[in-house]
Amino acid sequence: MQRATSEKRLLTLDHSSGLARTGVLNLPHGPVRTPVFMPVGTQGSVKTIRGADLLEYGFELVLANTYHLYLRPGVRAIESVGGLHDFMGWPRGVLTDSGGFQIWSLARLRKSSDEGYSFQSHVDGSSHLLTPEKVVELQRAFGSDIAMVLDECLEQPSSRERTERSLDRTLGWARRSKAMGPSSGQALFGIVQGGTFPDLRKRAAKELCEMGFDGYAMGGLSVGEERYSTVRAVASSIEVLPETSPRYLMGVGKPDDLVDYVSMGVDMFDCVVPTRNARGGSFFVPGGHVNITNARFALDPRPVQDGCDCYACRNHSRAYLRHLFLAGEWLGPILATLHNLRYYARLMESIRKAIDRDAYHEFRQCWHETRESFDSETY
Amino acid sequence: MQRATSEKRLLTLDHSSGLARTGVLNLPHGPVRTPVFMPVGTQGSVKTIRGADLLEYGFELVLANTYHLYLRPGVRAIESVGGLHDFMGWPRGVLTDSGGFQIWSLARLRKSSDEGYSFQSHVDGSSHLLTPEKVVELQRAFGSDIAMVLDECLEQPSSRERTERSLDRTLGWARRSKAMGPSSGQALFGIVQGGTFPDLRKRAAKELCEMGFDGYAMGGLSVGEERYSTVRAVASSIEVLPETSPRYLMGVGKPDDLVDYVSMGVDMFDCVVPTRNARGGSFFVPGGHVNITNARFALDPRPVQDGCDCYACRNHSRAYLRHLFLAGEWLGPILATLHNLRYYARLMESIRKAIDRDAYHEFRQCWHETRESFDSETY
């Protein structure tokens, strides 16, 4: 009973259109409209831009990473400034990822056991042990609005047997995380693993629901597997997850992915694509993306996207943006990041509006038509 | 007579305090209060920040470089967007340096003759000839508010004979630049050279005044020579320059330099120090500067400078700024640049206020006392 109440409190569902739904995450640092895209601020900063930009562009929730922040600057530095929000100078929501994926992909001499992850820091080679309990404690010290349990990641493809063994460990870690008891004001999300095996995904979702988390993430996806495998894994998980809890698809995605997975009932996303691609000169535009360093933009006085209200499009031409990238000026990646994040924010606004007027199917159809007729060579 | 009128129009003198003076440069893109510090936007961008930041922080005039912009993106790209202001997305004043110093310090196989500078581009190795006439034409195409004549630079120390020979060439180039005739709405400044020889500086100033420019710069200084030599060269030049014309000390300087040279009657400055030092983690503070990567800032929740209204000081702690630099986050240099530029803008405001109330001597005394009692180890 208590669980149902706490779930209700975290997510207020609003409208639905097919399986897609809008709602509000009620977090200590203010309400967050869903479906939501979280810009990635791994080390406590969304690369190249300021908190004021994120606020202005409509973001209400950002992601930071426990593994990174634990290693540098360390929990003491963050506590000395009064927690992660004050440390980052960011007044709205923060979700901290547990760092399972980052230990797996970045740390040296990584060794996973039932106890947790032992590894050497990629920053200075120092030795560490992160247990599920320690990871929850760290996130409590950070004071993030949403904490994630530690999970074990797995290279893809992996055999069913190996995936099942890893899933058992991940579920054991989740159970221990949950056993830490509730933390006032911080939600705790479980993470559904199970590779590309639909029945393992279902089993994972079912067991996590029995433990009773405030929300449920789907992890270990979009890491190189075929798209239909991802879709099937997401569908299998959502089938089991409670309707009233937020569903978070980790590390996803490109604009197409957001449009598609929202239609399956996903509420939350994070991805480095808008920011990382920006730093390479790639600007998202309706229907696709263009690389601004292309020679045909050299004398082009138009903004990257007509009608876009981002700082770059309001103030600068394609010719200037191209020049900044070719000249290696810092401002190029900065302006591209502003544009791409605003593009994502507007996309999420459009998605929510389409759901609210129960026209999500039409919205998605129109999206893919625009996508198919897009030609980056003539944009 | 015509000259005197045009000079009056460009600079309206306001108050004076000793030799220091306040005034207003009346430029096509709006009035500029002097003494003025110009942030350096060599390639058409003040590194790491946006035009909106410069406007917000009180800057009215920025510097761009003809040599760099001529090589990349080239005059056609700038014209295609409607000139340098629209290209940069910057609505206020732009002064373009001629590029004499940059050809001298950056270009390959540089060869100076009476005709001009022949050289190979540092960008792509292509061969170029820049004559005094071509440099004026380029700046007219750019549409900058203030253009600079091409001058020859000289390594320091150089013999009197070599300096005199070089000065003759620079004066010849200035005469040819002036002979191009007036350009509507664009001021043209002569550049006083003459190394560290006071009599050569005086001769240069005198001859340039006879040619009749809209303003006068002092070049080839602060390039490694002893400080008393710089001071003497500036004093010798100013002695000859007309009181009614703007005086611009090129490439200077640190905060101390601004305070000192204003007291000698200099009106305009530019320097990479606030922006370049920022990217290395150095923040200017009252009395000196601190490097934010210092270990003692690791747990320091205070802003870099109490009472500073820059974005960094309003939103972030020393601990966070240090973390950004150590973690290699883009936001570190961005926030440091904002701080240092706001520091410079506030310094120039204080300087102008002190002159306006005829208390510049006291202001400068107080400045140097604060400077002497500053201890970066305990700040």
Cα A34 from chain centroid (whole Å): 13
Domain count, chain B: 2
Decide which of A248, A271, A294 is a domain's last residue. A271
Is residue B225 helix, strand or coil?
coil
- Going by pLDDT thresholds of 50, 70 and 90, the confidence category of residue A7 is very low
How much of chain B, in percent, has pLDDT values that exceed 90?
95
Tens of pLDDT along A144-177?
999 999 999 998 899 999 999 999 999 999 999 9
The secondary structure element, H or E, covering residue A26 is strand A20-27
Q: What percentage of chain A has pLDDT greater than the value 90? A: 94
Least reliable range by pLDDT among A207-211, B1-5, B20-24, B61-65: B1-5
Tell whether A378 is covered by a domain.
Answer: no
Q: Are B101 and B153 within 8 A, CB to CB?
A: yes
Asked if A71 and A146 sit in the same domain, the reply is yes
Q: With bands split at pLDDT 50, 70 and 90, how would you rate the model's confidence at B107?
A: confident
Give me the residue label for tokens 């992660």.
A84
Domain check: are A241 and A337 in the same one? no
For residue A379, is it within any domain? no
CA distances to A79, A272, B277, B319, B329 from B323, in Å: 13, 21, 17, 6, 8
User: What are the tens digits of pLDDT across the range A275-310?
Assistant: 999 999 999 999 999 999 999 999 999 999 999 999
Mean pLDDT of chain A: 96
Q: What is the ipTM of this complex?
A: 0.97
* A151 plus A60 within the same structural domain: yes
Regarding whether A54 and A143 lie in a shared domain, the answer is yes
Same domain, A23 and A63: yes
In a domain, B377, yes or no: no
Q: Is A356 a catalytic residue?
A: no
Q: How distant, in Å, are the alpha carbons of B15, B193, B201, B264, B274 from that of B235?
A: 20, 13, 9, 7, 25
Going from the C-alpha of A1 to that of each of A6, A7, A23, the distances in angstroms are: 9, 10, 22
How many CA atoms, within 13 angstroms, populate the side-chain half-sphere of residue B42?
19
**Among residues B271, B291, B321, which one ends one of the domains?**
B271
Same-domain status, A71 and A114: yes
> B374: helix, coil or strand?
coil
Q: Is residue A377 part of a domain?
A: no
One domain for residues A342 and A216: no
- What is the model's pLDDT at position B2? 39
Is pLDDT of A2 > 50?
Answer: no
CB contact under 8 A, B81 and A301: yes
Q: Give the list of residues 6+ apart from residue A59 with CB closer than 8 angstroms, or none.
A: A38, A39, A92, A341, A345
Per-residue HEC secondary structure of B64-122 comes to EEHHHHHHCCCHHHHHHCCCHHHHHCCCCEEEEECCHHHHHHHCEEEEECCCCEEEECC
Beta-bridge partners for B118 = B111, B129
The H or E element that residue B154 is part of is none
How many angstroms from the chain centroid is the CA of residue A52? 20
Structure tokens given for B251: 């490439």
pLDDT tens-digit profile of A107-125?
888 999 999 999 999 999 9
Assign B53 to helix, strand or coil: helix
| pLDDT score recorded for residue B184 | 86
A277-289 per-residue burial string, b: 16 or more CB within 10 A, e: under 16 = bbbebbbbbbbbb
User: Is the pLDDT reported for residue B1 higher than 60?
Assistant: no
Instruction: Please report which confidence band the pLDDT of residue A5 belongs to, taking 50, 70 and 90 as the band edges.
Output: very low
Beta strands, E only, chain B:
11-17, 20-27, 30-34, 36-38, 61-65, 93-97, 108-112, 117-120, 127-130, 146-148, 187-192, 215-218, 247-249, 268-270, 282-285, 288-291
At residue B238, does pLDDT exceed 80?
yes
Nearest to B169 by CA among B271, B100, B84, B77: B100
Mean pLDDT in chain B?
96
* A328 Cβ contact partners less than 8 Å away, ≥ 6 residues apart: none
Structure tokens at A12: 């207020």
Taking CA atoms, what residue in B is nearest to A44? B324
Q: How far apart are CA A75 and CA B195, in angstroms?
A: 56
Residue B111's pLDDT is 94
Dist CA B321 CA A143 (whole Å): 20
Whether residue B323 and residue A52 make contact (CB cut-off 8 A), yes or no, is no
In a domain, A60, yes or no: yes
pLDDT tier at B156, thresholds 50, 70, 90: confident
Question: Closest to A299 (Cβ–Cβ): which among B47, B76, B326?
Answer: B76
- In the annotation, is A145 catalytic? no
| B222-B225-B227-B229 Cα dihedral, nearest 10 degrees | -110
Asked whether the CA dihedral B96, B102, B108, B111 is positive or negative, the reply is positive
What is the residue range of A361's domain? 278-372
Tokens of A233: 């894994």
Strands B146-148 and B93-97: parallel
User: Is residue B10 in some structural domain?
Assistant: yes
Q: Residue B116 falls within a domain, yes or no?
A: yes
Interchain proximity A47–B317, CB inside 8 Å = no
- In angstroms, what separates the C-alpha of A88 from chain B's closest C-alpha? 7
In Å, what is the CA distance from B276 to each residue of A85, B281, B282, B284, B309? 29, 9, 9, 12, 21
Q: Are residues B324 and B237 in the same domain?
A: no
Q: Does the pLDDT of residue B47 top 50, yes or no?
A: yes
Type of residue found at B152: E
**Alpha carbon distance, N-terminus to C-terminus of chain A:** 55
Distance CA A200, CA A197 (A): 5
CA A98 to chain CA centroid, Å, is 12
Question: Taking the CB of residue A108, how many other CB atoms lie within 10 A of it?
Answer: 10
**Other Cβ atoms within 10 Å of B152 Cβ, number:** 24
CATH number of the structural domain spanning residue B57: 3.20.20.105
Distance CA B339, CA B274 (A): 9
Residue A3 has pLDDT above 70, yes or no: no
Of B45, B311, B324, the CB nearest to A324: B45
Bridge partners for B289 per DSSP: B284
> For residues A218 and B363, what is the distance between their CA atoms, to the nearest angstrom?
63
Q: Does B52 have pLDDT greater than 60?
A: yes
Q: How many CA atoms lie within 13 A of A119 on its CB side?
A: 22
Other CB atoms within a 10 A radius of the CB of residue A124 amount to 8
Report yes or no on B294 lying in a domain.
yes
Last residue of a domain, one of A271, A301, A333: A271
| Distance separating alpha carbons of residues B15 and B34, to the nearest angstrom | 10
CA atoms within 13 Å, Cβ hemisphere of B171: 21
Query: Do residues B131 and B229 both lie within one domain?
Result: yes
DSSP one-letter code for B297: G
Distances (CA, A) of B2 to A115, B182, B188, B348: 87, 11, 14, 32
Residue B5, pLDDT > 50, answer no
Chain A partners within 8 Å of B316 (Cβ): 89
For the entire predicted model, the pTM comes to: 0.97
Q: How far is B303 from chain A (nearest CA, A)?
A: 11
User: Do B201 and B223 belong to one domain?
Assistant: yes
Same domain, A39 and A141: yes
Q: What are phi and psi of B290, to 5 degrees?
A: -125, 150
Q: Residue A295 gets which letter from DSSP? A: G
- Regarding whether A118 and A16 lie in a shared domain, the answer is yes
**3-state per-residue secondary structure call for A143-200:** CCCEEECCCCCCCCCCCHHHHHHHHHHHHHHHHHHHCCCCECCEEEEEEECCCCCHHH
CB-based contacts of A158, cutoff 8 Å, min separation 6? A166, A195
At residue B39, does pLDDT exceed 90?
yes
Q: Per-residue confidence at A184, pLDDT binned at 50, 70, 90?
A: confident
- For residue B90, report the phi and psi dihedrals to the nearest 5 degrees: -125, 115
CA–CA separation, B366 vs B363, rounded Å?
5
C-alpha closest to that of A267 among A8, A67, A53, A22: A22
Half-sphere exposure of B293 (CA within 13 A, CB side): 14
Q: What pLDDT score was predicted for residue A98? A: 96
Nearest chain B Cα distance for residue A5, angstroms: 36
Is the Cβ–Cβ distance between A335 and A312 less than 8 Å? yes
Chain B residues touching chain A at CB-CB below 8 Å: 43-45, 47-52, 68, 72-73, 76-77, 80-82, 86-89, 298-301, 311, 315-317, 319-320, 322-324, 326-327, 329-331, 333-335
Over residues B46-62, mean pLDDT: 98
d(CA B317, nearest CA chain A) in Å: 7
Distances from the Cα of A58 to the Cα of A20, A356, B267, angstroms: 21, 18, 43
Taking the alpha carbons at both ends of chain B, their separation in whole angstroms is: 55
Question: Are B319 and A51 in contact (CB < 8 Å)?
Answer: no
Which amino acid, one-letter code, is at B184? S
Contacts of B77 in chain A (CB under 8 A): 298-299, 319, 323
